[in-house]
Amino acid sequence: MLNNKTIAVVVPAYNEENQIGKVIETMPEFVDRIIVVNDFSTDKTKEIVEYYVKKYKGKGIKIQEKKGYKNKFSNDKKVEEAEAILDMREEQNMTDSEKGKIEEESNRVILINHKQNGGVGAAIASGYKWAKDHEIDCTAVMAGDGQMPPDELERICKPIVFDGVDYVKGNRLIHRSALLVIPKVRYIGNSILSILTKIASGYWHVSDTQTGYTAISLSALKSIHLHKIYKRYGVPNDLLVKLNIAMCTLKEVPIRPTYNVGESSKMKITKVIPKLSWLLVKLFFKRLYRKYLFRDFHPLFLLYHLAFIIAIFNIPLGLDILYAFITQGIIVTDQKLLIFLFLMITGFQSLLFAMWMDIQDNERLYV
C-alpha cells in the first residue's frame, strides 16, 4: 500500500516464459496485487505464473470483490438499472478468460488466463476489470517482458495516491539518455505517433504516448467502458482519448528507457504506424463529437469542421490550378486564384483557432 491506498499492477503476458518470473520477483513490496493476464501463451508462461501464485499464496492483504456495490442512499432505480446493464455488457464483451487454479482473497499474485489471444489491450482490460471489481485505488501496468524498471513504479503511482491525479504516464523521450538508448526507428515512430495522439486525444502536452508504463485511479477506471478498449498496440492512444472525453486529469513523469534486457519485441513499426494513424483519425472525430457536441457544445467543433469542409472544396481547386500551370504553362484567371487563396487562408485560420481553443480547454486536465 501507499498512503493507505491499495496498489495493483496488471502484467499482460504473451509468451514471456523467460522474463515473467523476473517481473514478479522484482515487484516492489508496496504492490498489493500482481495481476498477470496470460494472453493465451503457447509457451510455459502459464505454468511459471502458477508457481508464483502458490509461492505467494496468502501473502497479500485481504481484498474482497466489491462488484455490484450499490449506494444505499440512492433511490434512483433507473440509474441502478442502467449501471447493471452496463456491467452486464462489459462482462459479456470482455475477452473470454478463466481465473487461475488458486485464487484467494489474500493471494498476492492473481492469474487470469485468456481462452484465446486477444492482444495486449484485451489483456490490460481484463486486468483493469479485476482491479475495478475489487475497488483497487491505484492500478499500474507493467509489461511482462521486463522492459519497465520496477524501481520507477513508486514515482508513477505517487501522483494518484497522494495528489488525486487520474492517470499517470511514464515518459522516456524526455530522459537525457533517450536519443542514445532508444532505437532510432522506434524513437522516430514514437515521435510521429505522439504528435498525432496530441491532436486526437486533446492532451496536447503529452509526448511519449506509446509507453505502456502507466497508472490509473479507481475513479478513472469507472469512467470508461473497459470492454471497448482497443485490443491491440493502439491501446495507449485509445485510452488517452477515452480518458479525455471523461475529463480525467493526466500527469507525465520522466522514466529511463530500458532495452536489451532479454525482451523480444512483437511489434512491427512499419505495420503499426499506418494502422494507428488511421485509428487516431477516427478517435479524433469520436472525441470531437462526444465531448464538444453531445456533452457540452464548444465553438471549436464548428471551427474544426469549417476548416475540413474548406479543405475538401479547396484541394481540387488547387490541383486544377497546378495542373493548368504544369500542362499549359499559364496561370489561371485571377478570380479562380483569388478564390483559392481566400479559402486557403480562411481554412488555415479556422484550423489554428480550433486548435488553440482545444489546447486552452484541455489545459485544466494536464497536471
Residues 207 and 315 in one domain: no
For residue 225, the number of C-alpha atoms closer than 13 Å in the C-beta half-sphere is: 15
Residues in the chain, pLDDT under 50: none
> Cα(168)–Cα(4) distance, rounded to whole angstroms?
19
What one-character-per-residue DSSP string does 31-69 give?
--EEEEEE-S-SSSHHHHHHHHHHHTTT-S------TT-
Residues 199 and 252 in one domain: yes
In a domain, 2, yes or no: no
> Cα(282)–Cα(336) distance, rounded to whole angstroms?
33
In a domain, 246, yes or no: yes
In a domain, 64, yes or no: yes
Contact (Cβ atoms closer than 8 angstroms) between residue 214 and residue 143: no
pLDDT of residue 159: 97
Contact (Cβ atoms closer than 8 angstroms) between residue 45 and residue 14: yes
In a domain, 1, yes or no: no
> Cα(38)–Cα(247) distance, rounded to whole angstroms?
31
Strand ranges, E, within the chain: 7-13, 33-38, 97-99, 109-114, 138-141, 167-171, 214-217, 250-254
> Cα(221)–Cα(168) distance, rounded to whole angstroms?
13
Residues 210 and 345 in one domain: no
Q: What domain range is 355 assigned to? A: 298-365
Burial of residue 37 (number of CB atoms within 10 Å: 0-12, 13-18, 19+): buried
Report the Cα–Cα distance between both ends of the chain, in Å, rounded: 23
Contact (Cβ atoms closer than 8 angstroms) between residue 120 and residue 40: no
Other beta carbons within 10 angstroms of residue 38's beta carbon come to: 28
In a domain, 170, yes or no: yes
pLDDT of residue 68: 55
Contact (Cβ atoms closer than 8 angstroms) between residue 166 and residue 219: yes
Q: Which amino acid is at 9?
A: V
Which of 198, 229, 235, 231 has its CA nearest to residue 213? 235
Indicate the pTM of the whole model: 0.89
Output the nine-digit C-alpha cell for 27: 515487484
Look at the chain and report how many structural domains it folds into. Answer: 2
> Domain boundary at 242, 262, 289, which?
289
Contact (Cβ atoms closer than 8 angstroms) between residue 248 and residue 220: yes
Residues 285 and 306 in one domain: no
Q: Which amino acid is at 47?
A: E
The three-state secondary structure class of 332 is coil
Length of the chain (residues) = 367
Residues 303 and 176 in one domain: no
Residues 30 and 47 in one domain: yes
> Domain boundary at 260, 289, 318, which?
289
Tell me: the pLDDT tens digits for 246-301?
Answer: 999 999 999 988 765 555 555 566 677 788 889 999 999 999 999 999 999 999 99
Residues 79 and 182 in one domain: yes
Tell me: the pLDDT tens digits for 330-351?
Answer: 665 678 888 999 999 999 999 9
Radius of gyration of the chain (CA): 24
> Cα(120)–Cα(235) distance, rounded to whole angstroms?
8
- 149 phi and psi angles, rounded to 5 deg: -60, 125
Please report which residue ranges of 42-152 form alpha helices under DSSP H: 45-55, 77-93, 120-133
Residues 118 and 232 in one domain: yes
Residues 114 and 199 in one domain: yes
How far is CA 105 from each of CA 49, 108, 118, 210, rounded to the nearest angstrom? 17, 9, 26, 33
Q: Which amino acid is at 281?
A: V
Output the nine-digit C-alpha cell for 347: 481554412
Residues 185 and 161 in one domain: yes
> Domain boundary at 289, 312, 338, which?
289
In a domain, 180, yes or no: yes
pLDDT of residue 197: 95
Residues 106 and 191 in one domain: yes
In a domain, 313, yes or no: yes
How far is CA 337 from each of CA 3, 318, 328, 342, 344, rounded to the nearest angstrom? 65, 9, 16, 9, 11
Q: Which CATH number do you get for residue 119? A: 3.90.550.10
What one-character-per-residue DSSP string does 270-302 give?
HHHHHHHHHHHHHHHHHHHHIIIIIIS--HHHH
Residues 329 and 189 in one domain: no
- 114 phi and psi angles, rounded to 5 deg: -75, 140
> Cα(256)–Cα(148) distance, rounded to whole angstroms?
9
